[in-house]
Amino acid sequence: MTLLAKLGKELPERYYLGLNVGYKQHVAVVISLRTFARGDARWKHARFLAFASTRAGLCQFQKYLDGFSPDPQAFLGVCEPTGGYYGAAAYQYLLDHHYPMWLVDNATTGHMREQIFGNLAKTDGMDGRVMARIAYLHESVGEEFTLRLLTLPKPDDADLLALCRDSWKLHMLICRARNQFGQLMAVMFPELKTFFTHSVTSLAPVSLAAAYPTPAELALAPAEAVQAVLKQAEAHQPAKRVAELQALARDSSGLLPDPGRAWRLAWLTEFLLHGFKAHTDLEHRIVQLLASREDYALLDPIPYSGPAALAMILALTRDVGRFHNYRQYVAYSGYFAGLEKSGTIDRTHMSKRGTAT
């Protein structure tokens, strides 16, 4: 029998909440201090509540919690940060109703689950029980876990972080589409790379391919129309060499587009033209948000960094004033300007060694 079990009825009314966040529904498990104090495996079979991620679901969740205690301070809750947007409404609800909630890393939950349940198939209810167990061990037994208070970012921080992530994801999609477009041009109009020597996947050649999908169409087009396409893409110097471009098109060794290549070219050019514009708009929006923040002036002098990197740092670290000195800030953010050496090659970079949020 454990020491806590020997105390018996002297144990306070205390409940540990494990919350597993999902897309359509969340799973909550509440286990009492007395259940844990028994020292047996009863807590491993504690019932859980699966409730919808809607207002009706939150009402059901509240009734579940009230069935244990109407006092929010009688609970200690643990959840994982990976819920993201899926858990935002539930997290805000718990904070608004003054339930003490902590975040635990997914790796910690997974490691504890493997220790307790071995190779059993993972379930949401199992994870909820494990998180409740972590809360109990942390508070009542003193076992140390890396827990941090659940706090939702300010709207400005959340918007900035979302824009930075959207910009990064869109950039990756554009890069993949540009690679595919470059491969198509190597088949359909290989001479294009001798005209656009820097890149055949930038705005100007993509706009050109959208207007004239084949070299034959480009060769027969009026020179003034081709110039207009290039000027609209701000390719003013290439626009002066339209005669050279059309000569390359007339003598191209490219293959005629089959239906599959024609469809891919149409899709890729449409996607890239929209993607280029959307990515530019995102970058402008990020710069506008940064300009409205007083703390941006503190980071602006950092070398080897641009608005995108600094915006991500500010969004992740939030209030700069909560750090006592720059060392704490660097340790938390993990970003610092440095010089990377590899053999005889030196290059600057932004190194990341801090929070993985």
β strands within 53-134, DSSP E: 75-79, 101-104
At CA 199, angle to CA 193 and CA 203, rounded to 5? 115
Does residue 357 fall inside a structural domain? no
Does residue 292 fall inside a structural domain? no
Count of residues in the chain: 357
Based on the structure, what is the number of domains in the chain? 3
- pLDDT band at residue 224 under the 50/70/90 scheme: very high
Most confident of 80-84, 260-264, 271-275, 337-341: 271-275
**Same domain assignment for residues 186 and 246:** yes
In percent, the amount of the chain with pLDDT more than 90 equals: 58
User: Which tens digit of pLDDT belongs to each residue from 176-198?
Assistant: 999 999 999 999 999 999 999 99
3-class SS of residue 18: strand
Tokens, residue 275: 């993607």
Of the given ranges (85-94, 108-117, 130-139, 308-317), which has the lowest mean pLDDT?
Answer: 308-317
Does residue 194 fall inside a structural domain? yes
Does residue 144 fall inside a structural domain? yes
Residue 332 has pLDDT above 70, yes or no: no
**Same domain assignment for residues 303 and 278:** no
The domain boundary, picked from 239, 254, 287, lies at 287
- pLDDT band at residue 47 under the 50/70/90 scheme: very high
Please give the DSSP secondary-structure letter assigned to residue 74. Answer: G
**Same domain assignment for residues 184 and 268:** yes
Q: In Å, how far from its chain's centre is CA 344? A: 35
- pLDDT band at residue 331 under the 50/70/90 scheme: low
Looking at residues 20-36, what average pLDDT do you find?
94
Looking at residues 42-56, what average pLDDT do you find?
95
Does residue 333 fall inside a structural domain? yes
Residue with tokens 């600094």: 310
- Rounded Cα distance between 98 and 93, Å, is 9
- pLDDT band at residue 14 under the 50/70/90 scheme: very high
**Same domain assignment for residues 165 and 139:** no
Give the pLDDT score at 39.
84
Looking at residues 135-158, what average pLDDT do you find?
79
Residue 108 has pLDDT above 60, yes or no: yes
3-class SS of residue 71: coil
Select from 16, 152, 23 the least CA-distant residue to 93. 152
- pLDDT band at residue 323 under the 50/70/90 scheme: low
Q: Domain range spanning residue 84?
A: 3-152
- Rounded Cα distance between 265 and 215, Å, is 13
Residue 13 has pLDDT above 60, yes or no: yes
- Rounded Cα distance between 74 and 69, Å, is 7
Most confident of 80-84, 118-122, 152-156, 348-352: 118-122
- Rounded Cα distance between 267 and 272, Å, is 9
Q: Which residues contact 290 (CB under 8 A, 6 or more apart)?
A: 160, 296, 307, 310, 311, 314
**Same domain assignment for residues 122 and 245:** no
70: number of Cβ within 10 Å? 9
- Rounded Cα distance between 302 and 296, Å, is 11
**Same domain assignment for residues 89 and 121:** yes
User: Which tens digit of pLDDT belongs to each residue from 56-106?
Assistant: 999 999 999 999 999 999 999 999 887 567 888 999 999 999 999 999 988
Does residue 241 fall inside a structural domain? yes
- Rounded Cα distance between 347 and 353, Å, is 18
**Same domain assignment for residues 266 and 333:** no
**Same domain assignment for residues 75 and 122:** yes
**Model pTM score:** 0.67
Select from 110, 98, 128 the least CA-distant residue to 18. 128
134: number of Cβ within 10 Å? 21
180: number of Cβ within 10 Å? 16
Select from 350, 354, 331, 327 the least CA-distant residue to 339. 350
Does residue 35 fall inside a structural domain? yes
- pLDDT band at residue 150 under the 50/70/90 scheme: confident
Q: Is the dihedral angle over the CA atoms 184, 190, 192, 196 positive or is it negative?
A: positive
Of the given ranges (40-44, 272-276, 337-341), which has the lowest mean pLDDT?
Answer: 337-341
3-class SS of residue 22: coil
Does residue 237 fall inside a structural domain? yes
**Same domain assignment for residues 42 and 113:** yes
- For residues 80 and 142, the model is more confident at 80
**Same domain assignment for residues 122 and 15:** yes
The domain boundary, picked from 235, 259, 287, lies at 287
Give the pLDDT score at 299.
61
Q: How many CA atoms lie within 13 A of 88 on its CB side?
A: 8
The domain boundary, picked from 259, 287, 315, lies at 287
Amino acid symbol at 217: E
* Environment class of 328 (CB within 10 Å of its CB; exposed 0-12, middle 13-18, buried 19+): exposed
**Same domain assignment for residues 267 and 140:** no
Rg (CA), the chain: 29
Residue 220 has pLDDT above 60, yes or no: yes
Tokens, residue 211: 């207007």
Question: What CATH code is carried by the domain that includes residue 220?
Answer: 1.10.287
**Same domain assignment for residues 339 and 249:** no
